[in-house]
C-alpha cells in the first residue's frame, strides 16, 4: 500500500518528465527539419541567382559577339565560318575577353544544325546533335537551365555531391540598332557554371547549424536530465517522508488509544494483585506452622510478582516517562548493567566482550531510563542464545554523538520479521509480552536518539543505539 501510494505521488512528476523529454526531442527534430528546409531554400536561391547570373552573362555575350564579331566578320569575309582559323580566333578573343573574370566553367556555341561550332573544349567542336531538349527550346526562343550533379546517391541525398554544375542554354540573336527587341536566332549559346564550391559553402553552413543545434540540445538535455533527476529525488524523498510521518502518526494514534486502555486495565489489575500478593505472604506465614512443605503460597507470590512485572511493562510502554536529563556517563551505565547481570552471565555460560573508545564524552540523559533500555537489549541478546555465547558491547563517539553497539551470536532475526519487531505485543518467545523493544525505542527516541536492529554478517543480531551528546544539538 505504501509503495503504491508513493508511486501515485511520483506519477505526476514522471508525466512532466516524459513530456519535457518528448518536447526536447520534438524541438531537436524540428530544428533538423528547419535546417534542412533552410538549406533547401538556400540552394534554391543560389540556383536562381546563378540562373539570373547566367542570363545576364549570355545577354552581354550576345551583345558583344554581335557587335564585335558577327558584324565585322560579315563585312570583312561576307560569311561567318568558324571552321576558318582566323574567324575562330577572333570569336575566341571576343568570348574570352567578355567573360574574363566571370565565373564560367564552359561555353559552347551551337549553329542552327545542332552542331557545336565553338567551345572552350576544342575536343567537342564539330560534335553533332548534343544540344538535347535545351537546344530545341532555345531554337524556339526559350532559355532553360538545368542542374547536373555527379556522385553516389548517398552524397547527393545528403546534399554534398562531388560535382555540381548549372547548364544554361539560350538563343544567340541578331540585335536591331537602338532597340532592345531581339532579332532572329543566329545560334545557340550554352554556359556551364561550376556551383560545387557554392553548394559546399551551403552544406558547411548546414553542418554548422546542425552541430550547433546538437550541442545546444545536448547541453539542454544534460541540464534537464540533472534537474529532472534532482527533482525526482526530492519529490520521492518528500513522498517517503510524508508516508513515514503518516505511518508514525497512525502508529502514535493507535498506541495512544492502546496505551490509555492498557493503563486503565493495568491500574485496575494492580490494586487487587497487590492484595493477592500480600494475602499470599500472610497465608505463607500462617501455614508454616501447620504445613511447611506446602508450596502453593510461594507459587501465588511468584506468579503475582511476574504478573506485576508484566503490568509494569505495560505501563512503561503505554505511558513512557519524561527523561530527567542530567550529565550521564554511558560507559558507567553499561558497566552497571553488566555487573547486575554478572551472576546470571557466569551461571548460564555467557561472556561479554567490551570495546570502548577512549575519552567518551558525557551526554545529557536520564541514566535510569538508559539503564532500563540497555538491560532489555542485553536480556534479549542472552535469550537469543539459550545455550550460552558471547555478547559484544562497543562504544564509539564523536563530538556530537555516542554510538553503542550490541551483538550476539544467536540465530538472528528472519528478514520477514524485521519490520514487525517494533510492533507492540509481537514476540517469538514462549514467554514475554513483546513490549521490551518497544520500551527501548520509546526511551531512546525520548532522548532524541535512534535505535536500529540488523542481521549481523554470519549469524546473530546487531543493535545500534545512537544518542546525541547534547539534547537539541
- Note the pLDDT tens digit of each residue in 343-361: 888 888 888 898 988 888 8
- Note the pLDDT tens digit of each residue in 288-345: 767 666 777 777 777 777 777 666 666 666 566 677 888 889 999 999 999 988 888 8
Checking DSSP bridges between strand 461-468 and strand 401-407, what pairing results, if any? Answer: antiparallel
Q: Looking at the chain, which residues constitute the CATH 3.30.565.10 domain(s)? A: 323-468
Instruction: Report the b/e string of 73-107 with b at 16+ CB within 10 A.
Output: beeeeeebebeeeebbebbbebbeebbeeeebeeb
CATH class (in words) of the domain with range 323-468: alpha beta
Q: What is the pLDDT of residue 280?
A: 72
Q: Is the pLDDT of residue 136 over 80?
A: yes
Query: What's the mean pLDDT when you consider all of the chain?
Result: 78
Instruction: Report the b/e string of 187-208 with b at 16+ CB within 10 A.
Output: bbbbbbbbbbebbeebbeebee
Task: Kindly state the average pLDDT of the residues 443-459.
Answer: 80
Calculate helix-pair angle for 367-383, 330-340, nearest 10 degrees.
50
Q: Is the pLDDT of residue 403 over 90?
A: yes
- Note the pLDDT tens digit of each residue in 33-87: 777 777 778 778 888 888 888 888 888 888 888 888 888 888 888 888 888 888 8
The strand ranges marked E within 79-162 are 106-110, 116-119, 144-150
Q: Is the pLDDT of residue 414 over 80?
A: no
Q: What is the pTM assigned to this prediction?
A: 0.43
- Does the 2-208 domain belong in CATH 3.30.450.20? yes
Instruction: Identify the weakest region by mean pLDDT among 94-98, 216-220, 393-397, 449-453.
Output: 216-220
- Note the pLDDT tens digit of each residue in 148-205: 888 777 777 666 677 888 889 988 887 755 444 456 777 788 888 887 787 788 778 7
Q: What is the pLDDT of residue 82?
A: 84
Amino acid at each position: 500500500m505504501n509503495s503504491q501510494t508513493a508511486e501515485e505521488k511520483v506519477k505526476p512528476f514522471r508525466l512532466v518528465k516524459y513530456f519535457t523529454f518528448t518536447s526536447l526531442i520534438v524541438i531537436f527534430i524540428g530544428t533538423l527539419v528547419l535546417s534542412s528546409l533552410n538549406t533547401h531554400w538556400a540552394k534554391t536561391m543560389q540556383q536562381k541567382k546563378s540562373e539570373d547570373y547566367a542570363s545576364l552573362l549570355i545577354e552581354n555575350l550576345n551583345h558583344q559577339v554581335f557587335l564585335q564579331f558577327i558584324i565585322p566578320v560579315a563585312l570583312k569575309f561576307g560569311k561567318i565560318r568558324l571552321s576558318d582559323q582566323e574567324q575562330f580566333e577572333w570569336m575566341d578573343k571576343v568570348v574570352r575577353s567578355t567573360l574574363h573574370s566571370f565565373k564560367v566553367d564552359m561555353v559552347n556555341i551551337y549553329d542552327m544544325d545542332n552542331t557545336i561550332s565553338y567551345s572552350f573544349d576544342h575536343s567537342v567542336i564539330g560534335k553533332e546533335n548534343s544540344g538535347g531538349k535545351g537546344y530545341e527550346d532555345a531554337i524556339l526562343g526559350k532559355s532553360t537551365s538545368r542542374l547536373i550533379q555527379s556522385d553516389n546517391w548517398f552524397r547527393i541525398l545528403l546534399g554534398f555531391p562531388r560535382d555540381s554544375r548549372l547548364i544554361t542554354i539560350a538563343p544567340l540573336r541578331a540585335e536591331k540598332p537602338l532597340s532592345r527587341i531581339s532579332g532572329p536566332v543566329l545560334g545557340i549559346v550554352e554556359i556551364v557554371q561550376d556551383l560545387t564550391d557554392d553548394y559546399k559553402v551551403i552544406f558547411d553552413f548546414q553542418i554548422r547549424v546542425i552541430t550547433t543545434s546538437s550541442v545546444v540540445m545536448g547541453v539542454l538535455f544534460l541540464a534537464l536530465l540533472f534537474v529532472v533527476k534532482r527533482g525526482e529525488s526530492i519529490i520521492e524523498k518528500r513522498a517517503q517522508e510524508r508516508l513515514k510521518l503518516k505511518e508514525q502518526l497512525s502508529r502514535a494514534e493507535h498506541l495512544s488509544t492502546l496505551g490509555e486502555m492498557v493503563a486503565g486495565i493495568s491500574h485496575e489489575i494492580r490494586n487487587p494483585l497487590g492484595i493477592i500478593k500480600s494475602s499470599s505472604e500472610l497465608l505463607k506465614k500462617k501455614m508454616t506452622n501447620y504445613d511447611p512443605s506446602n508450596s502453593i503460597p510461594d507459587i501465588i507470590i511468584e506468579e503475582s510478582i511476574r504478573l506485576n512485572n508484566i503490568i509494569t511493562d505495560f505501563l512503561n510502554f503505554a505511558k513512557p516517562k519524561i527523561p530527567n536529563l542530567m550529565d550521564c556517563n554511558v560507559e558507567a551505565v553499561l558497566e552497571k548493567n553488566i555487573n547486575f547481570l554478572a551472576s546470571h552471565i557466569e551461571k548460564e555460560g555467557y561472556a561479554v566482550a567490551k570495546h570502548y573508545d577512549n575519552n567518551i564524552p558525557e551526554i545529557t540523559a536520564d541514566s535510569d531510563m538508559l539503564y532500563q533500555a540497555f538491560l532489555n537489549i542485553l536480556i534479549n541478546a542472552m535469550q537469543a542464545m539459550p545455550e550460552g555465547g558471547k555478547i559484544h558491547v562497543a562504544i564509539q563517539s564523536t563530538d556530537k554523538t555516542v554510538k553503542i553497539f550490541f551483538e550476539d551470536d544467536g540465530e538472528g532475526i528472519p528478514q520477514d520479521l524485521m519490520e514487525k519487531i517494533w510492533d507492540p505485543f509481537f514476540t517469538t518467545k514462549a514467554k514475554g509480552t513483546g513490549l521490551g523493544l518497544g520500551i527501548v525505542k520509546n526511551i531512546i527516541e525520548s532522548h532524541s536518539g535512534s535505535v536500529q536492529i540488523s542481521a549481523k554478517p554470519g549469524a546473530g543480531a546487531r543493535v545500534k543505539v545512537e544518542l546525541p551528546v547534547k539534547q537539541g544539538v
